Structure formats: structure tokens, C-alpha cells
Amino acid sequence: MSTKTPSEADILRPINNTSKKYFIGLGLAGGAFAIFLAMWAYQLSVGLVITGLSDWGSGGGVTWGVYIGAFIWWVGIAHGGIILSAAVRLLGMDRYMPVARLAELLTIAGLSAAGFYILVHMGRPDRMVTSVLGNYHITVHNSPLVWDVTVITAYFVLTATYLLLTLRYDVTRLRDDLPGYFEPVYKMLTLGYTEKEDPVVERMVWWLALAIIIMAPLLLHGGVIPWLFALIPTMPGWFGAIQGPQFLTIALTSAIAGVILVSYAFRWAYEWEHIITDDVFRGLTLWLGFFALLFLWLQLQQIIGGVYAAPMDQSTVVSAMLGHPIYFGALSVVAAVLAYTFAQAIRPSLFTKKRSVAAAVAALLATLFEKVLFVVEGLMYPTFGLYAAVPGDYWPSLIEMFSVVGTIGMVAAFFMVVAKVVPVVELHAIEHLREGGHDHATDGGEEVDR
């Protein structure tokens, strides 16, 4: 472990130093996003025909594909903020404090990517305001898609509020060392700030964290996102109560993986070994394994239920899924992640950060593929199977595939830009580390094993 003492200068480093590598990185990320925007513009001009989608029924295709799968995936990744906030603000697991803000930023970025996917998926996104908001008072009673939009918006607003509140503290104290050209931004951020608000904000943040954490299982990935599918009785691959818990476990797996990647990237770029310590990665890796276990457990429930004595339509879709190389691949990868995380817990010498990063990348890929497959297979095996064209086939077009690259670019660029404006590690975290928060073993180091 490093002997360097964390300082304000450390967390200001991203803001005040910009390297050539940074510009290259930003160029790549921004470029990927820009290319996708151009592709989207093309899609808008000729129609969704350029995708690999088609009508289900006599047309023998699927009408939802990569766009919807990736939408769910991003919402899932956005749960990173929830988990870390829960750990730090509610359970007092202070060791994760240095990555809490990064995780919260991941929430904002992930939700933005998901929101963007909703637009990309639509035939007429220009009508979003008039048609959706204009009829909101009627449709909110019935349409799971409207519930989705509502909850995602609420979640976004809550997290943004939360972030802004905690930023006020930091920006006020670091103001003198922040660059002058962003002065208007800082002025806005700290408008009306007095030290008196600190305890109030602390309490507000606690309540906000609680609200978000309650929302996650009940409404977000444990609720309305799976309901988009789980409430459709004639698509047996989707229907059923297990989708709520199943979606949540997949979301949490990908979310932790996302936090590991972002944390690693920042630690690498700004030499934050003494801030985002190895210990943080060990802890996160264990969490990753734990969620992967839950993921596999619920898959097992579905497989057994689907092959033992299931109704015909359900056993058809489950056996089709089992026979699909992507399904098998995704589950094997998750199982490998699980094996690694538990092995390194038992034998700490097996742990390296690079291995954890590899496990995180694997988990992210597995969850992305699983999500897309879930959407597609569900649509391919409907209860009404008289059509010769059903199940049809689906292979995403280049544009659909590149949309994933484009949104990853969008999220990466978001982080790179934000890191130039505000500290992405909380001042509290530095203060805490300096006060000797190093004694993790006694400081909640065991929670993850419970």
C-alpha cells in the first residue's frame, strides 16, 4: 500500500493538468459518439429499415433488438451509483467513499445513454413531447413504457440533486484552486452556500440516498424495467414474476463491473493508488462475484422451471435459449467471473487489479449479450406460433452494433469532460483517508461477506 498522503492537490489534478493522452482519449470517445450521431441522422432520414429489425408475425422478424437490449443494459449499469451510495451513506462503509462520486456520475451517464437509446429506437422521436407528455395523464395509468420514462426521469433528477448538493461543499472549499474560466459554473453551483447548510445537506443526502435505494428494487430494475416484458402474457420467454429479481441481479452485476472500470481508469490516469486503493478493488471484486452468483441462481430457476414440465410455449423458448451459443457463452463467462472472485477471496494472492478489470469487462459483455438475447428470443417464441416465419431470424445491422460503441464513447466523453470541471473524488473522502481511515479491516471490511 502506498505511503503517500492524499491531498487536495491530488483531487484537483484532473482539473489542472491536461495531457496529450487526454486529448487523444477525448477525441476517440467523442469521435465514436459523433460517428454514431451521423449514423442516427441517416436512420432518421431513411427510416428504421436500415436496422435488422422486422415485424413479428408473417414478417418473421423481431421488432425490438439491440437498441432495447442496450437500453436495459445502460439502465442496469446506472445502478452503480445506487450501490455505492447505499454502501457509503447508509451502511457507513467508508472505504468506498473515494469512488462514490464516480459511481454517481456513472448513474447520470448511464441514464443519459439509456434515454438516448429510447430516442434512437423510435420511428418518430420528434413527437416525444407532444405525443408522450401531451397524453401523459392518460397513459400513465396503463403503459409500462410510460412508467419507465417516469421512473428513469425521477431517478435521474434525484441523483443529479444529490450530486449537486454534495458538490457545493467541495467546490466552495476548493474554489481558489479551481480554474478561473469555469468561474460562472462554480458560481452557479455554490449559489447561496453557507456553512450552515452542511448538516442540513448531509441529512438531505441521506434521505435522498434512502429514496433512491428504495426505488431501485421496487421501481427501477426490480420493477418497471422488467415489467416492460414481464407483463406480456403471450411472450412466454418474458412473462412471469421472476423477471423483477432477475433484472435486478443482472443490473447490479453490470453496475459493479462499470464502477470497477471507471475507478481503474481514473486511478491509472491520475496516479491515485493512495486514494482508490487496492483494497477498494478487492471489495468491489467480491461484490461483483456476489451479484454474479445471484444472477446465475435466478437463471437456474428459469431453466429448471422451463424444462421440467413447463407449458408448451414456455418449454419451446427455454430450450431455444439453452441451445443458443450466446446464452451458453454469457452464462459461462459469468460463472468464470464468479469462480475468480471467490478464488481470490480465499487465496488473496490470486488477486490482481488487472484480473479484476478483466472480470469486469467480461461481466459487462456477458450482461450486454444476455440482455439483447433476452429481448430477441422472447419475441421470437410467442405463444401464437402458427406462422411459418416464426421464429424468424435477427442479426443486428452495423448501425445497431455501432450504437453500443457510440454510447460507450458518449459515456467516456462525459466522464472526461466532467473531470475537467469538478472534483470527481469527494473532499470528504480525502479528509477521511487523512484521518486514518486506513484501518479497513475494522472499518467494515467484512460487510461484503455477509
Partner 1 sequence: MSTEDTFHPLGEEWEGELEEMLDETEYDTDLGLEMARDAMRVTKGELSEAEFHERYHEDVLEEFDVDDRPTEAAWEEAKEADDEGLVERLADVDSEQERREVMKKMGAGAAAVGLGAWGTADNMAGEPEEPASVAAAQEDDDDGTQWGMAIDLEHCDGCLSCVVACSQENNLDMGVNWMYIFHYEDEDAGNDPKMMVRPCQHCSDAPCAKVCPTTARHVRNSDGLVLTDYDVCIGCRYCQVACPYGVNYFQWDEPDVPMADLDTDHVYDANGDWVDSRAPRGVMSKCTMCPTRQDGGYGDDNRGTTACEQACPPGIIHFGDLNDPESDPNQFLDEAREDPEKPSSFRLLEDVGTNPNIVYVGHEPGPNADQISAEEARDRGLGTAVSYEEIGLVDNRKTGNDEHDGLDGGTIGGGLSP
Sites of contact with partner 1 (CB under 8 A)? 46-61, 63-64, 121-125, 127-128, 130-132, 135, 138-139, 142-146, 149, 232-235, 312, 379, 382-384, 386-390, 392-393, 395, 397-399, 401
Cell numbers given for 28: 476517440
For the stretch 145-163, what's the b/e string if a residue is b when 16 or more beta carbons lie within 10 angstroms of its beta carbon?
ebbbbebbeebbebbeebb
Distance CA(185)–CA(192), nearest Å, equals 14
Nearer to partner 1, 50 or 269 (CB): 50
Cell numbers given for 199: 448538516
Taken in order 383, 384, 388, 394, the sign of the CA dihedral is: negative
* Overall size of the chain counted in residues: 450
Tell me which residue of 165, 222, 225, 219 sits closest to 190, measured CA to CA. 165
Nearer to partner 1, 224 or 280 (CB): 224
CB 369 within 8 A of CB 250: no
Q: Minimum Å distance from CB 63 to partner 1?
A: 5
Nearer to partner 1, 248 or 379 (CB): 379
Q: Minimum Å distance from CB 245 to partner 1?
A: 22
Q: Minimum Å distance from CB 75 to partner 1?
A: 16
Helices (H), 62-143: 66-77, 80-85, 97-121, 136-139
Nearer to partner 1, 109 or 321 (CB): 321
Q: Minimum Å distance from CB 323 to partner 1?
A: 15
Single-letter amino acid, residue 408:
I
Nearer to partner 1, 183 or 393 (CB): 393
Nearer to partner 1, 25 or 115 (CB): 115
Q: Minimum Å distance from CB 402 to partner 1?
A: 9
Question: Crossing angle of helices 398-421/66-77, nearest 10°?
Answer: 30
Cell numbers given for 418: 466532467
Q: Minimum Å distance from CB 246 to partner 1?
A: 19
